[in-house]
């Protein structure tokens, strides 16, 4: 089940909210939310729900053993944690990377191995990292272990964030799982945030995807340079609206249920460097690699360049089993290393140019990300850089882009922190005239929701792009 589907919007979501708030106590609310989350996952993954429960149980039991060992044998405790991490990563490897590794070994040694087709369980990368992060935090004594398995299972399987994150920290939601008093403003803010996220996905991402399809139709051979640039810029925007739209929907759902999840996107396309961009894009993943990989390896204290290489190789691999994704990770390693060790923040002090250079490097990076065939992606990049003798532009495509100019203008505005300023002003309005604020918000939500549902019904299935990663 996906958020941007008529089944979820018209049936599952309203039924979930009603059933959830019918529960008279926090324990019953948690029990109902757990049941709803398992149903949500079972609709799309009826078999793999057992894998989700099994991995959650292993993580819960491991953390409990670590916590109860107290100041016992540190080496044994560390070994238990390492064995659990190896087990969970082995499961992730089996589903996500085994076929890729075996096919490359076959190519290298001229062999032919039968590889069974294993569909990738939805959200396995997210909940695996969430379990590992939780156990690591218990090991470091940042948080106590959760004694109740079903409460821990709720933390892992909570349907707003299960499939695509954000990657939660148990320490951030532990108190919220014990007490979530109803707050009308939080509920309304959650509904608005959810609908805005849905609009990003269904309306903006959907519209911009049409331009990408138009540009990529029948390949790029013979097409002008600026047209290909337009297509790759549209892909960068589509990916942003799709993924940040999901994150907005997840945060909105969390608020509707009484939870406050951490932000996962912070207007990344206003960044003045690639380093800043990755502090603003998929924040929870970046924080995970920083806290559980980069810093334990030595961080900025020792082997800094090697630590950065490991993180970005893993970032590429996290997104999937394909050479272009590994190269994409290494591409950003090189850029971030240059920014960190050569320019040392000097580019941040050059207005306009630093922003344009960052956008240029990002679009090239997303081009590598887009083409699973790296040689094809390299050809496209060469064409974009004017190395294939393609014309700069032609008149055939002008009318299409003029007719779509309003969509592009809205997409560009949506990448700017205008929404944050509007939200701040709306909060001031709420403090002064709560009744008027409520009416304005209701009208806005109803109008935007109508457009979203019309888009969902008209386009049918709306899978999120990051389901593939």
Q: Give catalytic residues, as residue numbers.
A: 319
Strands (E) in 181-267, as ranges, are: none
Give CA separation, 321 vs 92, 125, 193, 308, 317, in Å: 11, 12, 33, 20, 6
Whole-angstrom Cα distance, residue 4 to residue 253?
A: 13
Interacting residues of 86 by C-beta distance below 8 A, sequence separation 6+: none
Largest CA distance in the chain: 75
Give CA separation, 423 vs 417, 435, 447, in Å: 10, 16, 18
Give CA separation, 94 vs 13, 99, 120, 317, in Å: 33, 8, 10, 14
Token readout for 324 is 């272009």
Let me know: does 198 contact 245? Beta carbons within 8 Å: yes
Whole-angstrom Cα distance, residue 343 to residue 380?
A: 28
Token readout for 199 is 């609009």
Q: Is residue 211 exposed (0-12), middle (13-18) or buried (19+ Cβ within 10 Å)?
A: buried
Whole-angstrom Cα distance, residue 28 to residue 25?
A: 5
Classified as helix, coil or strand, 153 is: helix
Residue with the two structure tokens 């396309």: 269
Give CA separation, 379 vs 209, 222, 328, 376, 388, in Å: 22, 12, 15, 5, 8
Interacting residues of 247 by C-beta distance below 8 A, sequence separation 6+: 164, 165, 166, 197, 263, 264, 265
Give CA separation, 84 vs 62, 71, 88, 138, 250, in Å: 7, 20, 6, 13, 28
Whole-angstrom Cα distance, residue 345 to residue 237?
A: 26
Nearest Cα to Cα of residue 170 among 257, 262, 245: 262
């Amino acid at each position: 089940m996906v958020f941007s589907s008529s089944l979820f919007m018209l049936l599952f979501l309203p039924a979930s909210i009603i059933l959830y708030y019918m529960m008279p106590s926090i324990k019953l609310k948690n029990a109902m939310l757990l049941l709803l989350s398992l149903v949500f996952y079972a609709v799309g993954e009826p078999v793999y729900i057992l894998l989700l429960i099994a991995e959650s149980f292993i993580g819960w039991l491991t953390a409990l053993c670590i916590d109860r060992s107290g100041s016992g044998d540190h080496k044994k405790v560390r070994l238990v944690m390492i064995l659990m991490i190896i087990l969970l990563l082995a499961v992730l490897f089996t589903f996500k990377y085994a076929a890729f590794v075996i096919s490359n070994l076959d190519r290298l040694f001229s062999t032919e191995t039968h590889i069974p087709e294993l569909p990738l369980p939805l959200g396995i990368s997210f909940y695996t990292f969430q379990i590992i992060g939780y156990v690591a935090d218990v090991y470091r004594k940042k948080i106590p272990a959760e004694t109740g398995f079903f409460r821990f299972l709720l933390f892992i399987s909570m349907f707003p964030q299960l499939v695509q994150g954000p990657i939660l920290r148990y320490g951030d939601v532990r108190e919220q799982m014990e007490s979530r008093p109803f707050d009308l403003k939080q509920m309304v803010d959650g509904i608005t945030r959810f609908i805005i996220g849905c609009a990003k996905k269904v309306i903006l991402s959907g519209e911009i995807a049409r331009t990408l399809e138009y540009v990529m139709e029948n390949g790029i051979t013979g097409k002008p340079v600026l047209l290909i640039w337009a297509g790759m810029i549209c892909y960068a925007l589509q990916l942003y609206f799709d993924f940040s739209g999901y994150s907005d929907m997840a945060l909105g759902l969390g608020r509707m249920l009484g939870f406050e999840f951490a932000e996962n996107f912070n207007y990344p396309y206003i960044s003045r460097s690639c380093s800043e961009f990755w502090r603003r894009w998929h924040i929870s993943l970046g924080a995970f690699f920083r806290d559980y990989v980069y810093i334990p390896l030595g961080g900025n204290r020792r082997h800094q360049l090697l630590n950065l290489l490991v993180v970005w190789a893993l970032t590429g691999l996290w997104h999937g089993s394909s050479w272009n994704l590994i190269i994409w990770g290494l591409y950003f390693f090189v850029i971030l290393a240059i920014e960190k060790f050569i320019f040392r923040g000097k580019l941040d002090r050059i207005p306009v140019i630093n922003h344009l250079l960052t956008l240029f490097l990002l679009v090239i990076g997303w081009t590598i990300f887009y083409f699973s065939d790296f040689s094809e992606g390299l050809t496209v990049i060469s064409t974009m850089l004017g190395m294939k003798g393609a014309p700069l532009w032609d008149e055939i495509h002008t009318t299409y882009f003029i007719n779509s100019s309003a969509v592009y203008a809205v997409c560009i505005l949506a990448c700017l922190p205008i929404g944050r300023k509007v939200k701040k002003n709306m909060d001031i309005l709420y403090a002064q005239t709560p009744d008027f604020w409520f009416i304005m918000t209701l009208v806005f939500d109803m109008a935007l929701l109508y457009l979203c549902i019309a888009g969902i019904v008209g386009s049918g299935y709306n899978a999120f792009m990051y389901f593939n990663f």
